[in-house]
Structure 1
């Protein structure tokens, strides 16, 4: 019987899910109420961008990096990235940091379950749904719900640690004081770094208008006399 239980747990746990176990810690009433309120807003996920050009460039760049195995269509990748950016910004987090954390935690598998029982993209432990949510852990497989929980929890740990990301990541993974997990996430964060590149230049510099006969105007002084 024990062997069967162990085997079943192994089948349920998604390969490569690296979550530890976020540890249950009693919350003060004020913190619990604030975290619960942070979960409830269901505004449309409209992330902020400096311009339409930046939006096009960022989404194109990030979409190319997502694993096609788990996000096979362009539409799926764009929808996912917009949710990630919105939830990260809403929690005051860098979207690239959140993408790096998801890569380490679940490898972008929506239904990943770790050996500790953490669920979804950001490997959220089910006790959080009882502590600050509706008590239904199955909701953690919903993409936006999981991202909302994960970002709110990471923000909570950052506030606890007064902005110390290294320690906040340790708390998120249940490995506070050990370097492996924070180092992995920060390395992944660097791999997701975004710098405006040729795409943005191409989008921001429209092609010159066509002239009759397929000619295009030249730049600089005219050579005609």
Structure 2
């Protein structure tokens, strides 16, 4: 169980929450995912998870699933307008995020909240630690589980695929503990500022369908 945050940590967390509420990423929160050794089994599983391509349209099993998807897409697109003004770009981004989040077994609002905090929905964002794209994926992941081409982390689907797979991996490592899993994703495991900022942003994205 994590220790009670210090006064300085709580102050940083409050600042992070305010920044998340405004939709601004905080450079002071920028972390560095730690490159940890992976067993052959884990490396193979993650490499398999990032391989392949998404279908051009979501495959939905029923009319109700289609209705739920369309409702979510409409709500999320309205919220995303402040970050992405072009409707086609918004739809492409949300359709891809929906697919990758669902594929990884992640909440849609959680992934949207994380992208908001990490990059403010900027495709070509680069952190001071060198993390890239929407979900601020560290380049070493391309070498560990990808094809070694770091430039592909600026491609929308590749970035969202890697980010969701990595977040799922960290959550599994923390046995579903969202606070610790998010901290590990940011490279600030056990500190409150980043998880609280992502969870605050997530609440802004939560809808009837998640």
Shared fold, TM over 0.5: yes
Structure 1, unmatched stretches of 5+, are 1-14, 197-225
Alignment equivalent of 1:60, drawn from 57, 61, 74: 74
Q: Which SS does the other structure have where 1:44 is aligned?
A: coil
- Determine the C-alpha separation between the residues in 2 that align with 1:154 and 1:37: 15
- Once residues 37 and 141 of structure 1 are traced to their aligned partners in structure 2, the CA distance between those partners, rounded to angstroms, is 20
Q: Is the 8 A contact 2:50 2:165 kept in 1?
A: yes
DSSP-derived class of the 1:122 partner = coil
Determine the C-alpha separation between the residues in 2 that align with 1:97 and 1:44: 22
- Greater share of helix residues, 1 or 2? 2
Unpaired runs of at least 5, structure 2: 1-24
Aligned to 1:22: 33
What is residue 54 of structure 2 aligned with on the other side? 43
SS at match of 1:93: coil
Q: How does 1:91-130 map to 2 (within 5 A)?
A: 91-130=104-143
Segments of 4+ in structure 1 off by > 4 A? 15-18
Question: Over aligned residue pairs, what C-alpha RMSD do you find?
Answer: 1.6
**Matching residue of 1:152:** 165
TM (norm. structure 1) is: 0.76
> 1:31 matched to which residue of 2?
42
Which structure has more relative contact order (CA 8 Å, sep 6+)? It is 2
Cα shift readout 1:37-58 (whole Å, capped 9, x = no counterpart) = 0011213154466433222211
When Rg is computed on C-alpha atoms for both structures, the one with the higher figure is 1
Distance 1:47 1:186, change over 3 A: farther
